[in-house]
Amino acid sequence: MFRAPRGTQDILPDEANRWRRLEAAARGWAELYGYGEIRTPTFEELGLFLRGVGEATDIVEKEIYAFQDKGGDWLALRPEETAPVVRAYLQHGLFNRPQPVKLYSIVNVFRYDRPQAGRFREFRQLNCEALGEDDPIVDAELAALLWRFLEDLGLRDLSLQLNSIGDSVCRPGFVEALVAYYREHLDKICPDDRRRLETNPMRLLDCKQPRCQPVIEGAPRTVDYLCGPCAEHFGRLQAYLADEGLAHQINPRLVRGLDYYTRTVWEVWPPEAGAQSTLGGGGRYDGLAEQLGGRPTPAVGFAAGLERILLTLEKQGLAPGEAESGLAFLAPLGQPAKRELNRLADRLRRRGVPATVGTGDRSLKALLRQANAIGARWALVMGDQELAEGKVAVRDLRTSEQRGLPVEAIVDELAREVLA
Ligand code: AMP
């Protein structure tokens, strides 16, 4: 027997309902903030991610699904969506439009990660990017978008963690201080950190090893090294967040490892924060477009994990409210009734009422059990007597109330209720 590959999941109809509602809400919030949808390919040239995510990152070093196709080209399943969006922005000359260009997408992404609760190899993200603008009001807008979306789902006790990591003017001074500090603590850090000290010192700050935590605690903080323009940007960002009533915590340990990340970094954490629980995170990447061969383009964005959001909803007892099913289950008792109900089902569907006809030759009890099992709203029962009278017994499966209605009246009656 085959099974879905490790770290992937099938989404069956009940679960798919929750997904559709979550995705509809995500879409709704992105559009409320003026973001337009972009859809990019599931795979890209591998080189896009080597440059656009960075070769010295876990995503590229350990997690990317890369393959050579039959034509010999190296491709990769997208491990994230920012680089593809920037690629599309450059490819289609979107920089010629009034800036910023605001784009969102809901995409599946792929990472060869170690599967565990909240960590998959194929997962889904809401991704929002604003390209071509350095005004910190856009940074604030993106954080607000994710925050309001999560709040509207009913999630409680979230926290917005915020940091600024400076830019090419002030970051070198910080990195120098960080490296000097770590050189004095070499005996206390993990082997990975010793490597990071050479390859990617910013990432020392998000090492998860317990033994490295005290060293991180005492490390220099990016916010203490910001140059004037970065400090002003950060100050204005915080003021805009305050205008919208969004509380945040400054977290000096939030970093991004690569040079094209600048200034703003943030994450939204659920109450029981841990490496597997971050709901979403974003930041500014003013150097990325140039890294991908474009002109310098300030930009900022975020990605939020939809599986994580569903898990957190569940933990908080909030599985996104079951939408009313307007499904009619037509329960025939006998072949002539089945013909009549088959015709009725067709008329219902054409009026927008979901309808399904009971199959085989089953008892009323078995038919009603099935109607309940598939979450139908009504059972429309017809046996010989109803057939002779031109009627259907309409049972409301929520209340178990039953009434007889003429076949002629049913389509109008149910359409009215479903479309109300
Ligand atoms: P990142 O692109 O790494 O900043 O991730 C953005 C968001 O995607 C995270 O905050 C998580 O909510 C989610 N995420 C990242 N990796 C995984 C994974 N392996 N499985 C499920 N969700 C993930």
Query: Could you report the per-residue pLDDT of 177-216, keeping only the tens digit for each?
Result: 999 999 999 899 999 899 889 888 988 998 888 999 999 9
- Predicted confidence at residue 323, as pLDDT, reads 59
Which is nearest to 208 in space by CA: 156, 151, 145, 253? 253
Would the pTM of this model clear 0.95, i.e. be above it? no
Whether the pLDDT of residue 364 is over 90: the answer is: yes
- Predicted confidence at residue 141, as pLDDT, reads 97
Query: How far does the centroid of ligand 1 lie from the alpha carbon of residue 240, in Å?
Result: 26
Cβ atoms of 68 and 47 within 8 Å: the answer is: no
Q: CB of 124 closer than 6 A to ligand 1? A: no
Query: How far does the centroid of ligand 1 lie from the alpha carbon of residue 61, in Å?
Result: 16
Pocket probe for ligand 1: among 123, 142, 208, 258, the residue whose CB has the most ligand atoms within 8 Å is 123
Average pLDDT over residues 324-345: 93
Whether the pLDDT of residue 378 is over 90: the answer is: yes
Query: How far does the centroid of ligand 1 lie from the alpha carbon of residue 305, in Å?
Result: 5
Ligand 1 atom nearest to 309, measured from its CA: 12
Average pLDDT over residues 361-370: 95
- Predicted confidence at residue 89, as pLDDT, reads 98
Q: CB of 307 closer than 6 A to ligand 1? A: yes
Whether the pLDDT of residue 275 is over 60: the answer is: no
In the block, tokens 């080189």 appear at 47
Q: Give Dmax (Cα) for the chain.
A: 93
Cα distances from 6 to residues 14, 61, 330, 345, in angstroms, run: 22, 20, 39, 41
Q: CB of 80 closer than 6 A to ligand 1? A: yes
pLDDT category, 95, cuts 50, 70, 90? Answer: very high
Average pLDDT over residues 340-355: 94
Whether the pLDDT of residue 320 is over 70: the answer is: no
Whether the pLDDT of residue 322 is over 60: the answer is: no
Average pLDDT over residues 327-335: 96
- Predicted confidence at residue 206, as pLDDT, reads 83
Percent of the chain with pLDDT over 70: 97
- Predicted confidence at residue 273, as pLDDT, reads 65
Look at phi and psi of residue 212 and say left if phi exceeds 0, alpha if psi is from -120 to 50, else beta. Answer: alpha
Q: CB of 81 closer than 6 A to ligand 1? A: no
Whether the pLDDT of residue 114 is over 70: the answer is: yes
- Residue-averaged pLDDT of the chain: 93
Pocket probe for ligand 1: among 261, 278, 309, 311, the residue whose CB has the most ligand atoms within 8 Å is 278
Average pLDDT over residues 37-56: 93
Query: How far does the centroid of ligand 1 lie from the alpha carbon of residue 358, in Å?
Result: 43
Cα distances from 57 to residues 195, 228, 253, in angstroms, run: 12, 29, 17
d(CA 251, CA 263): 13
Ligand 1 atom nearest to 82, measured from its CA: 2
Query: How far does the centroid of ligand 1 lie from the alpha carbon of residue 304, in Å?
Result: 7
Whether the pLDDT of residue 321 is over 60: the answer is: no
Ligand 1 atom nearest to 306, measured from its CA: 12
What CA dihedral angle connects 38, 39, 42 and 46, to 10 degrees? -40
d(CA 310, CA 118): 10
Percent of the chain with pLDDT over 90: 81
- Predicted confidence at residue 255, as pLDDT, reads 87
Whole-angstrom Cα Rg for the chain? 27
Query: How far does the centroid of ligand 1 lie from the alpha carbon of residue 279, in Å?
Result: 7
Query: How far does the centroid of ligand 1 lie from the alpha carbon of residue 12, in Å?
Result: 22
pLDDT category, 260, cuts 50, 70, 90? Answer: confident
Average pLDDT over residues 46-68: 89
In the block, tokens 């950190």 appear at 193
